[in-house]
Amino acid sequence: MRSNVLKSSIEKATFTIICQVLFRCISFILNAYIIRTVGQDVLGIMNVRLLLLESTILFLSQEPIFKACLADTTSQNWAQIVNQVWISVPLCICISSVLVYIWINFLSTVDPVYLSQYKIGCYAMAVSCIIEQVTQVMVLASQSYCFVKLKVMLDTVYVISRTIIFVYFVHNNPSFALNAFSIAQVASSIILLLLYVGFFVWYISALNEFKKKELSKHAMFSDMTDFPFTSVKDFLPGVMANHQDSLLDKKTCLLTVSFLKQSAVKQILTEGEKYVMTISPVLTFSEQSMYDIVNNLGSLAARFIFRPIEESSYFYFTQMIKRDVPLEDQNQGKISESAEVVGQLGKIVTSIGLVIVVFGQSYSHAFLYLYGGKQLVEPDLPVLLMRYHSFAIVLLAVNGVTEGYVFATMDNQQIDRYNYLMVIFSIVFLLISYVFTCTIGPVGFILANCFNMSARIIHSIIFIRKRYKNTRHNPLIGFFPGKKFLSVLILSGILAKISEMVIYEKSLLLHISIGAVLFATVAFFWCLENLKSLKLGYDKYKRRVSLKMD
């Protein structure tokens, strides 16, 4: 079992990335369909108000308990763990009751046309969360015993079934959209529960048969002789034999409280903008939907380009630099190489971010038109938001690399101090978001996000400069792109803007073609200036491939 842990962790990471891409693509297409079919108010109610209710219920009732119970299988008292996880069900019922009451009675009012459907939607979110909690013991068991493909497969079925059910009802009756969303949410949760129960009924029965007959080793069962569940009833609380006096483990309970605090900060950082939108009536549902659409579209680059770079760089720096040792006392070959990598990664992400900024000013309207049609671009707000959001992407890109280095090289005390600093950043971000949005509208959220990113980048820059103070290296200089690239990029931005003003109204295809030529020119000059780095990267890739083949 232990020999499979590393393999299953790698598989889980790989499958999770693939699933995230798949789910994002489904969400991307589904949102485009909703905009064209039911309008922006409905999208705002669903994607901001109702999904925020769901995520709030789950983070309060599920995540802390699940994290605390996830440990080495050989050290687990599964009778106590099952009881612990089942606490999340009554907890979820209590939390859901309170939050649904708040969502219906205290938050900004919903248009009377959608009010009855909105109330049903709130109850549906609560019911789907409760159903999801019932599956958590089986989810925990499948994760603990490395059923990686099972979870990925069932999560995929869950998302696809929810999408199909929703689209089926909306296609037949667009005015039924919120009710369709509620039905899809509850139905897909029930499907997920039944699939987990069905799998473990089959699996436990087959495993018991395997143990009884001592059949020849089978890949699925040979490493699972220590699987503690002998019946599906063992997944229920109080059924499995407990060799301890107490129903719950005290350490796990204390750990749950600790994870609850951590989850609260994480939830604020992740969903802070939506909480501001939901609690205070600073934006209409239509404006909320526009912001959500632009934020999701603008974040595609962050999710698919910058995040993998950030995660890979974090791993690289952890292997190259020791946390608790001054740089001058470490291997200078590694320090020199890591300083070069910091600068080169910084230059890459900064260059990509600047390209997005320049072309975002001239192609935001065309992109949004192709995505959502006239309904999305008739008001000027989405286009304005997309243009401003492109500036946030540059800061997000730079912050990813700098924080990746910082987190990889900080010692424990520095990490603890930074966690407190992150709490301060979060509070300031929420306050600035509210003030800016009340003053200048939805753009205020983006500006507040830019302010937050800038503060974090400044903190990381100060840390990196102090880190390299007594060395001959200054990796921050490498973040600046070359002059030729910047000159060509500025010229391309001017030509793209002229194309938008003169050609776009006459021919969308020609405008996009001009943009493609300009983008190719910019990419060519960037490669020309970074030929040495590209060649070095290619040589390392070839060396790695040849080592694998040997």
Give Cα 156 to chain centroid, integer Å: 16
The CA distance from 171 to 28, in Å, is 17
The CA distance from 61 to 327, in Å, is 44
DSSP result, 250-292: HHHHHHHHHHHHHHHHHHHHHHHHHHHHHHSTTS-HHHHHHHH
Q: Are residues 122 and 10 in the same domain?
A: yes
Q: Are residues 91 and 150 in the same domain?
A: yes
Of the candidates 34, 87, 482, the one whose C-alpha atom is nearest the C-alpha of residue 285 is 34
Q: What is the pLDDT of residue 493?
A: 95
**Domain coverage including residue 131:** 2-262
- Which pLDDT tens digit goes with each residue over 300-359? 766 667 777 777 777 777 777 777 777 777 777 877 878 888 888 888 889 999 999 999
- Which pLDDT tens digit goes with each residue over 357-368? 999 999 999 999
Q: State the distance between the two ends of the chain, measured CA to CA, in whole angstroms.
A: 29
Which residues in the chain come in under a pLDDT of 50? 1-6, 9, 216, 219
Flag whether 490 is in a domain: no
Q: Are residues 244 and 141 in the same domain?
A: yes
Q: Are residues 322 and 175 in the same domain?
A: no
Q: Are residues 70 and 103 in the same domain?
A: yes
Q: Are residues 286 and 392 in the same domain?
A: yes
The CA distance from 210 to 142, in Å, is 19
Q: What is the pLDDT of residue 134?
A: 93
Flag whether 108 is in a domain: yes
Q: What is the pLDDT of residue 297?
A: 80
Number of compact structural domains in the chain: 2
Q: What is the pLDDT of residue 135?
A: 93
Q: Are residues 257 and 394 in the same domain?
A: no
Q: Are residues 220 and 290 in the same domain?
A: no
DSSP result, 381-418: HHHHHHHHHHHHHHHHHHHHHHHHHHHHH--HHHHHHH
Q: Are residues 251 and 397 in the same domain?
A: no
Element (H, E) at 425: helix 412-440
User: pTM for this structure?
Assistant: 0.76
Degrees, nearest 5: CA angle 483-467-309: 55
Sign of the four-CA dihedral 443, 447, 452, 456: positive
Q: What is the pLDDT of residue 2?
A: 40
SS3 content of the chain, % helix, strand, coil (to 5): 85, 0, 15
Q: Are residues 288 and 253 in the same domain?
A: no
Degrees, nearest 5: CA angle 243-245-246: 110
Q: Among residues 441, 463, 481, which one ends one of the domains?
A: 481
Give Cα 420 to chain centroid, integer Å: 22
